[in-house]
Amino acid sequence: MFIVLEKILRHILSVYFYLILILNNSRMCVFGQYMVEILEYTELDGYRAVAHCDATAANFGSDISTFLFGMNSVGCALPTEPPLACSDFEKPRLNSTSQCVVDFAVVSRGNCSFSEKAYYVQQAKPFGYQALIVYNFKGKSPNPMSGSKFAELIQIPVVMVKYECMQSLLGHYSAEHGYTVTIKSNTGYDNLIKYRFPFIIIVGICCIVLLISLLIYSRRKKQYSG
C-alpha cells in the first residue's frame, strides 16, 4: 500500500512541477497574449472584425489594456519610409479616400533597437503615429521585445506580429482598401492563464494531503512493527 501511494505521489508531483514549468514559460514566451485585429466598417454594423494576427508586446510604451479604451484605439496600418524607422522621417501620404485620423506604423525589425523604432515613429513629422506594429523576419514567430535607448520616452503601444501579418495589413486588408486595425488583449490567452492558477493550486493541495497521508501511514506502520 505504501509503495502504491508513493508512486501516486511521484506522478502527481511530476505533473505539478510540469504545470509550473509551463506557466513560467508562458510568462516568458507571450506569443498570443495580444492580437492585431483587422476591422471593416459597415454602415449597418459599424466596425466588424474580418481577421486577426497573434502578437507579442514590448516591456516599454503604453499599456495595451489602457490603450484599447482610448480615443486612438482604432487606426490605419501604414508603412514608413524608410521601412526600418531607425532615424527621423516624415509620414508618407496615403492614397486613399478613407479618412485616417489615427495611424499605426508597420515597421520591419532590424538595424536598431525596438525602442528606437518606437521613438522615431512616435516623433514622425508632421505628427507621430499612435502605435507601432513591428513585423518579424519571414518564417519567424513574434517574440517579446525589450527596450533600450529612448525606452523611457515611449508613450505608444508596441507589438510584434509575423511577417505574414504584415503582408495582410499592407496588402489585401490595407488602409487604401478601407480597412482599419486595433490592438487588443487576447481573451483566450487571458482565460488560459486565469484558469491555470486555480488548477495548479488544487493539484498542490492534493500533493500536500497525499504527502501527509503517506507520513501518517509510514509512522503508524513503524509503530506497529516496533
Chain position carrying cell 502605435: 131
| pLDDT given at position 46 | 76
Please report, rounded to a whole number, the percentage of residues in the chain having pLDDT higher than 90. Answer: 33
Residue type, 197: F
Cβ neighbours, 10 Å, residue 85 = 26
Separation between Cα atoms, residue 132 and residue 114, nearest integer Å: 10
**Residue 211, exposed/middle/buried by CB under 10 A (0-12, 13-18, 19+)?**
middle
> How many whole angstroms separate alpha carbon 66 and alpha carbon 49?
20
Do 89 and 80 contact (CB within 8 A), yes or no? yes
The per-residue pLDDT for 119 is 96
Show the CA angle centred on residue 5, arms to residues 4 and 6, nearest 5°: 90
Pairing mode, if any, of strands 158-161 and 46-57?
Answer: antiparallel
Q: Answer yes or no: pTM beyond 0.85.
A: no
Which residues in the chain belong to E strands, given as ranges? 34-42, 46-57, 74-79, 103-108, 131-135, 158-161, 179-185
Cell numbers placing 43: 454602415
Among 22-26, 138-142, 215-219, name the most confident range: 138-142
CA distance 156 to 118: 8
For the segment 46-69, the average pLDDT, to the nearest whole number, is 86
- Answer whether 115's CB lies under 8 Å from 93's CB: no
d(CA 158, CA 142): 12
pLDDT of residue 30: 44
**How far apart, in whole angstroms, are the C-alpha atoms of residue 6 and residue 20?**
21
The mean pLDDT value for 28-42 works out to 73
28 pLDDT band, cuts 50/70/90, is very low
Least confident of 25-29, 52-56, 68-72, 193-197: 25-29
Interval 106-142: pLDDT, tens:
999 999 999 999 999 999 988 899 999 999 999 999 9
d(CA 190, CA 196): 10
CB 52 within 8 A of CB 36: yes
